[in-house]
A = this chain, B = another copy of it.
Amino acid sequence: MRADPRVIRSKASIIEACAALIAEEGFSGVSIEAVANRSGAAKTTIYRHWPSREALLAEAFGVCADAALPSPDTGSLREDLRVILGGLTLKLNDAGWCSAIGSLADAAGRDAELERLHQATLSEGRRPLTAILHRAVARGDLPAGLDVEDAVALIVGPLFYRAMIARQPVDEGFVARAVDAALAELRPG
């Protein structure tokens, strides 16, 4: 029944349990004891694999706060935006994802190491959107002088605000409005 030892069989269950706890209790609400109970692993085993609570949390964070978004390249800025914001909406409507990202954003203000992790996660998540904006500029769909970083904030800000600050569900109508708004505000005239 037991899996093959000599191979580390506890790590996966520990990370899985830790990720679930981050999603439920938030980044700063996770204790090693709770991870041990939930995973079935002994506390000793956790300390064998990770030097500290922070190291474990950082590794588990990637599981429940996966920042990967679709990377469309349809040739149409509107369509690209629709796809990418649709992907973001799926994550924003996932309470666990919001809890993980939100609690890390909060904790990042008080810990330089967490701030690095948080920024890395965010910039990873921004990449597909900056890519389609750069392509749109290259195509002439958007003005040449566009500040892409500002544009990203203008585009995704409303969605993040709705889900993580106002804490309301993000429905399709709002996403459509956000796409329209993005196009209206980024295009000249």
Show the binding face of A for B, using Cβ within 8 Å: 24-26, 28-29, 95, 98-99, 101-103, 105-110, 115, 118-119, 122, 147, 150, 153-154, 156-162, 164-167, 173-174, 177-178, 180-182, 184-185
Contact = CB atoms under 8 A, between A and B. Distances in A.
A154 B153 CA distance: 11
Copy count, this protein chain: 2
Cβ-closest 8 pairs across A and B: A157-B158, A157-B161, A181-B185, A157-B157, A184-B185, A102-B106, A154-B158, A160-B161
Which of A26, A110, A158 has the most C-beta atoms of chain B within 10 angstroms of its own C-beta? A158
Contacts of A159: 157
A120 B102 CA distance: 19
A118 B166 CA distance: 9
A160 to B, nearest CB: 5
Contacts of A158: 153-154, 157-158
Nearest to A24: B110
Given A95-B109, A106-B102, A158-B153, A118 B185 contact: no
B165 A25 contact: no
Nearest to A183: B185
A25 B157 contact: no
A184 B164 CA distance: 25
B99 A102 contact: no
Contacts of A165: 101, 105, 122, 160, 164
